[in-house]
Amino acid sequence: MLDLKFIRENPDIVREAVRKKRSTLPLDELLELDRIVMRERQEIQDLREQQNRISKQVRDADTPEVKQALIAEARALGDEISRRENVLKAEDEQLQALLLRVPNIPDESVPEGNGEEENVAVKHWGDPPRFDFEVQDHVALMERLDMLDLARGARVAGSRSYILKNAGALLEFALMRFALDRITKKGFTPLIVPALAREAALVGTGQFPSGRDQIYEIPKDDLFLVGTAEVSMTGMYAGEILPHSDLPIKMVAMSPCFRREAGSFGRDVRGVMRVHQFTKVEQYIIAENDPAGSLDWLEVLLGNAEEICQALELPYRVMLVCTGDMGDGKVKSYDIECWVPSEGRYRETHSDSALYDWQARRVNLRYRDESGKVRYVHTLNNTALASPRIMVPLLENHQQADGSIRVPEALQPYLGMDIIGPPK
RNA sequence: GGAGAGGUCGCAUAGUGGCCUAGUGCGGCGGUUUGCUAAACCGCUGUAGGAGAAAUCCUACCGAGGGUUCGAAUCCCUCCCUCUCCGCCA
């Protein structure tokens, strides 16, 4: 969410952001509603002032006759106020609904584009491996090593469900702890956060209203399953005014993540690339309201994620996400894509985002700066590691001629093996 | 799930229909006094919106949302959260 005052005073900047982000927001409708709501609110305020004055006169009235006359007058005003307030409320709700759809303004360094295909590769690390045998995809590898049971997973929970088994199950634990340890060592506070969240938390991150169909609902309890721990970490400080000395707050949370994958029928139907439930370690920073500082943090988070990919010996590239592929709330965003040999291309495994105060406004999360002024914080988030998706490049890049998997050195202490072979 | 007690300014508390423009204490900030520190004393101390050149003024906010009333922190309803006990439970 942007500051309404900012939108009012800089409609051209917002209009340009709407265009670049390929947003469907009707900005002129929003501006007109804003004018109406402001005028209405002012008029109601004047009426209320009158009413307050008369109410005091009622208290101090000398005779019953005067008192009755004043009460009648105040009652008429009260009726007028409540009538006008109903109108205002309806208009304001419309305005707020539009306000939630206003995209953030992309940073100048962000390339303009319509979608994923116009993201710009800004860095490559490692070389895609050459194999002198026929490459197998992760499904073949995992099934042969008895790490994965897709059929029985589907029996339990339908398509895009899976069962990790043997080294597959252990690998997920190993990966999560590996990532958690790495980020914790950099001064981030490790957390286990709720995977269930209220609507307000999802509105707060920007998952709602636009991405609502991607989220599982639990209507009986008015709860939702989070698609990322970002939701929980944004929601946990909602409404607070933090002391300046608390910032930056650096957190790293592991949580299960749930995504309906509505509209992705036919994409990545094979294997564990795109599933309804996965586990993720997520980095999160709550920082001061300083754009340049925020963009520095974005690079820090990117560096942390890159180190993890490097430690796992995965060839990757860093993509600067273009305006049309960025979420509404984002100012600037990088994806890390790891090399997937069976597909002969890079696939997204990490997503790094700076949102400035866009989420902070939604959850009303502020801090007191050095001068005592209350300001909205900035928020950033980036994947540390998400499994089982990361298993796709991990297993495929490190496969050997006999179908076993070489475990990268950094992961060996966590997994307790240097080669994943068939279970004994 | 059942019974009960609560939620008031950064913290602690007072406030049971109009004198609440929310009192008091603590903390914080500024000042006076002072070799230094401390103490004492004095003043200031929330958020949001609006009017104004400014001093200042107006409106809303006492967990959230409704309602009663000329008037609600206070009365009524719904919900949320915390605590105590019972039940269930990894």
Q: Is the CB of A74 under 7 A from strand B?
A: yes
Task: Kindly state the average pLDDT of the residues A258-276.
Answer: 90
Token pair 């406004």: residue:
A361
Whether pLDDT at A371 is above 80:
no
What integer best gives the mean pLDDT of chain A? Answer: 93
User: Looking at strand B, which nucleotides approach a protein CB closer than 7 A?
Assistant: 10, 18, 46-50, 58-60, 66-67, 69-71
Work out the average pLDDT over A296-321. 98
Instruction: Decide if A119 contacts A318 (C-beta within 8 A).
Output: no
Q: Which residue from A139, A137, A178 is spatially nearest to A307, judged by alpha carbons? A: A178
Q: Rounded distance, CA A278 to CA A157, Å?
A: 13
A289 touches strand B (CB under 7 A): no
What's the CA gap between A105 and A16, in Å, rounded? Answer: 8
Report yes or no for ipTM above 0.90. no
d(CA A9, CA A420): 61
CA of A347 to C1' of B81 (A): 43
Strand B close to A5 by CB, under 7 A: yes
A212-221, A311-320, A378-387, range with the lowest pLDDT:
A212-221
How far is Cα A157 from Cα A123, in angstroms, rounded to an integer?
39
What would the pLDDT profile of A15-47 be if each residue is shown by its tens digit? 999 999 999 999 999 999 999 999 999 999 999
**Strand B within 7 A of A58 CB:** yes
Which phi and psi angles does A5 have, rounded to 5°?
Answer: -65, -40
Annotated catalytic residue, options A362, A387, A389, A396: A389
Listed in order, strand segments (DSSP E) in A200-323 are 216-218, 223-225, 241-243, 249-258, 277-287, 316-320
Q: What is the mean pLDDT of residues A411-424?
A: 94
